[in-house]
Structure 1
């Protein structure tokens, strides 16, 4: 018997809000809002989301106001995810909620912060920002009287846990949570989660290119050597006035690259959907591979861009200097609090164990992961400078 078509003009393979698997803690009806609209709104109003304003991608907050933060990045990912979801007749609200929540678990100082916590937590299972995002929305947020976390729908939690694909060896917290509230970790995520994941890839590379150009770590002529960027730059120059500024030309180029990548994803997804012929969201989950992905050509072009950014931006001497300083700051904060949990604020001290224990390491990790760049630097000063009150 054919699966019933989802409501509101959604495709048969879309996640249907009317058939949500619900929330871990049952709640009343949301009124005019769908379950995924409520999830999106809870994410936006969360403490973790607000903190993204002062968590950075590559350049930390005092290096300039024009660079991306985790907040602006998440908003840009949400815009791209909604665009892809709309063209594929998916639930836009679920895709948007996942895009807005995907970076909630990132620590301060971007890549450097994650590397620092990964190394510090290696004796106790390591650190994974995807697992930390799930932990933030299920455990660490304290905004409701009846439960910890945001009590998001199963579909949103599933997408957060496995938007990058099935998890055969999940991070410790994801495995623990799945044992209590199964998220079907061995299948693919919904098409909406896949749309959010590919939107992250699109935004990530292009906005790092934009920030790198703004910071002067490479030039527009240098990135034009990349075929994908070169094609977009040539098209932008052909339509621009002769006296166009370099900044406007760079913005036109990045805009065209983003558009080309979205067009590619939608075309490739439609091609795969035509072959798969899914009749339900579960057909997407149980498919042999992801559906919302780049074509083979765009995958290769995108990898060239990634390689360029790795060599010319993420390993740039200015970035390396900042990364080294911020990693050392987090290492010092972790060591002091892990060895002296009595220095933690009361609400965190109540959760910690004895000095040096695994329980205390987990609490200190959660505490640090929730910090903004600015707060982390201030905490380092409070813990190390005798002239600054605690």
Structure 2
């Protein structure tokens, strides 16, 4: 039996509006897609975006992309995919508590890491260095390239043709890219806005000088919360540090004391799970409480009032911001730059550099869909195509390509 009308074009209130705050994004008020499409009978704009992201090739590749370099040591460590799922769960929890659109928050969380290279931040750093003369490499800009150009699943367009609100959130979830005078904000003050974002901005204005929606801000914090919690978990599981070492972080010492008081003598694996659970709970609950106060003070009438605000409306309170900084300050030397991880990072970076240099010298060494016509491109466009190809690789595929092209390939152990 056919549906009587499209949910995307249905007039009046949306399902769930009784729970949705005035400042939440509304699919029925979406600024739409770059390329007009018929509405869906069963899904609104943001639900459709979420589903397109989940079914994309780039999303599936996250299964075999490293989060932090311990995944080679066992099956229980996070990959980009498991991290993404955890971020989506936290983003939905924040959105639900704050009266935001859960589907948009989830879509943004699911897409936020699509542009990452193989080998975690090591791969990104190496590829950025390779691209230094060609505009550099930025994973947020690469995510935009993927969802607007590189995915080729639809007959009528390249990319996923996502709604304006989803694209805006992907580009600006960490804050405005331009200040009120149109100059790049601090993050891009030296390098300038990545070319992929500038090029797309010429086609569809994403309001680069404003904050993103509250849903995008919630997804960005969910990323930080998940990152801290699971890196503590993975670092403990990998034996890079112990529970007693974490007492150097006052916030974590307080939680460990609480666990010891409630469950004296608890075995390490259960104590680890209790700690990770408490980290997530404390961060989420404090973010909700602080954001409720920020929103009450601003009293935004609609989603655009959130965008025009002078500060984020979804943020860490100071005590949690301090804990976040302290946790990252602990993890940097004890996990991300641990000597055991450093050896692997160096090998992985070499793989990326070798591939970039070989494809730059011999573009035909890439598969036909990537190498064909590459020699006719100018130097910048050729380098960008090579970067697109390498960035899309999984860890395994990058190593396989290296083995195909070189006599010796590092073992990432």
State the TM-score, normalized to the length of structure 2: 0.90
Alpha-carbon distance, 1:302 to partner:
0.9
Q: Is the 8 A contact 1:339 1:355 kept in 2?
A: no
Match of 1:174 in 2: 197
Alpha-carbon distance, 1:356 to partner:
8.4
Matches within 5 A, 1:43-54: 43-54=53-64
Larger deviation: 152-161 or 166-175?
166-175
Q: Given the alignment of the two structures, is residue 332 of structure 1 paired with residue 342 of structure 2, yes or no?
A: no
Q: Given the alignment of the two structures, is residue 226 of structure 1 paired with residue 236 of structure 2, yes or no?
A: no
Q: Is the 8 A contact 2:228 2:328 kept in 1?
A: yes
Match of 2:321 in 1: 299
Matches within 5 A, 1:358-373: 358-373=380-395
Q: Give the distance between the partners of 1:20 and 1:147, measured in 2 at CA.
A: 20
Alpha-carbon distance, 1:238 to partner:
2.4
Match of 1:97 among 102, 107, 127: 107
Match of 1:80 in 2: 90
Larger deviation: 45-54 or 163-172?
163-172
Alpha-carbon distance, 1:237 to partner:
2.2
Alpha-carbon distance, 1:116 to partner:
0.3
Q: SS state of the match for residue 274, structure 1?
A: helix
Q: Given the alignment of the two structures, is residue 41 of structure 1 paired with residue 51 of structure 2, yes or no?
A: yes
Cα distance change, pair 268–363 in 1 and its aligned pair in 2 (3 A): same
Q: Give the distance between the partners of 1:296 and 1:29, measured in 2 at CA.
A: 43
Unmatched 5+ residue regions in structure 2?
Answer: 1-11, 179-183, 185-192
Q: SS state of the match for residue 353, structure 1?
A: helix
Match of 1:313 in 2: 335
Q: Given the alignment of the two structures, is residue 134 of structure 1 paired with residue 144 of structure 2, yes or no?
A: yes
Q: Give the distance between the partners of 1:315 and 1:189, measured in 2 at CA.
A: 32
Match of 1:379 in 2: 401
Q: Give the distance between the partners of 2:311 and 2:226, measured in 1 at CA.
A: 23
Matches within 5 A, 1:1-390: 8-9=17-18, 10-59=20-69, 61-168=71-178, 169=184, 170-240=193-263, 242-350=264-372, 352-354=374-376, 357-385=379-407
Cα distance change, pair 6–269 in 1 and its aligned pair in 2 (3 A): farther
Q: Give the distance between the partners of 2:106 and 2:65, measured in 1 at CA.
A: 20
Give per-residue Cα distances to partners, 1:226-256, cap 9 Å, x unaligned. 111112222222222x453101101101100
The number of residues matched between the two structures is 383
CA RMSD of aligned residues (A): 1.6
Q: Give the distance between the partners of 1:386 and 1:167, measured in 2 at CA.
A: 42
Alpha-carbon distance, 1:206 to partner:
1.2
Give per-residue Cα distances to partners, 1:72-98, cap 9 Å, x unaligned. 000000000000000000000000000
Q: Is the 8 A contact 1:5 1:11 kept in 2?
A: no
Cα distance change, pair 312–37 in 1 and its aligned pair in 2 (3 A): same
Q: Is the 8 A contact 2:70 2:341 kept in 1?
A: no
Alpha-carbon distance, 1:364 to partner:
0.6
Cα distance change, pair 15–332 in 1 and its aligned pair in 2 (3 A): same
Q: Give the distance between the partners of 1:299 and 1:326, measured in 2 at CA.
A: 32
Q: Give the distance between the partners of 2:26 and 2:138, measured in 1 at CA.
A: 30
Q: Give the distance between the partners of 1:107 and 1:386, measured in 2 at CA.
A: 22
Cα distance change, pair 88–335 in 1 and its aligned pair in 2 (3 A): same
Q: Is the 8 A contact 2:152 2:159 kept in 1?
A: yes
Give per-residue Cα distances to partners, 1:257-289, cap 9 Å, x unaligned. 110000111111111111101000000000001
Q: Is the 8 A contact 1:5 1:12 kept in 2?
A: no
Q: Give the distance between the partners of 1:377 and 1:15, measured in 2 at CA.
A: 42
Q: Is the 8 A contact 1:108 1:369 kept in 2?
A: yes
Q: Give the distance between the partners of 1:351 and 1:206, measured in 2 at CA.
A: 45
Give per-residue Cα distances to partners, 1:55-87, cap 9 Å, x unaligned. 011125432211100000000000000000000
